[in-house]
Amino acid sequence: MSETVSSTSRKRGRPTAQEREERRDQILDAAVALFVSNGYGQVTVDEIAAMARVTKRTIYTYFGDKAEVFTAAIERFRARDLVNHGATAESLLETAARLVFVLHSDSAVGLHRLMVGEAAQFPELASGFYSSGPRGYVALLAQHLSPASGLVEVEVEAEALFGLLLGEPHRRRLLGLAPAPSAAAARAHAEQVIALLGLTERSRDDG
Q: What's the pLDDT tens digit per position in 25-75?
A: 999 999 999 999 999 999 999 999 999 999 999 999 999 899 999 989 888
Q: Which residues of the chain are in CATH 1.10.10.60 domains? A: 1-64
Q: What's the pLDDT tens digit per position in 101-130?
A: 999 999 899 999 999 999 999 999 999 899
- pTM of the predicted protein model: 0.78
Q: Between these two residues, 74 and 24, which has the higher pLDDT value?
A: 24
Q: CA-to-CA distance for 76 and 162, rounded, in angstroms?
A: 20
Percent of the chain with pLDDT over 90: 64
Residue 206: pLDDT band (50, 70, 90) is low
Supply the pLDDT for residue 153: 83
Q: For residue 178, with 0-12 CB atoms within 10 Å meaning exposed, 13-18 middle and 19 or more buried, which class applies?
A: middle
For residue 142, pLDDT over 60 is answered with: yes
Mean pLDDT of 133-150: 82
Q: CA-to-CA distance for 41 and 204, rounded, in angstroms?
A: 45
Q: CA-to-CA distance for 61 and 163, rounded, in angstroms?
A: 37
Cα→Cα distances 52→42, 57, 87, 163, 201, Å: 17, 12, 30, 35, 43
Mean pLDDT of 72-94: 73
Of 160, 26, 137, 40, whose CA–CA distance to 79 is shortest? 137
**CB atoms inside a 10 Å sphere around CB 187:** 18
For residue 3, pLDDT over 80 is answered with: no
Residue 78: pLDDT band (50, 70, 90) is confident
Q: The CATH number of 1-64 is which of 3.40.50.300, 1.10.630.10, 1.10.274.100, 1.10.10.60?
A: 1.10.10.60
Q: Which residues of the chain are in CATH 1.10.357.10 domains? A: 66-207
Please provide the CATH number assigned to the domain covering 66-207.
1.10.357.10
Cα→Cα distances 141→44, 157, 175, Å: 36, 9, 26
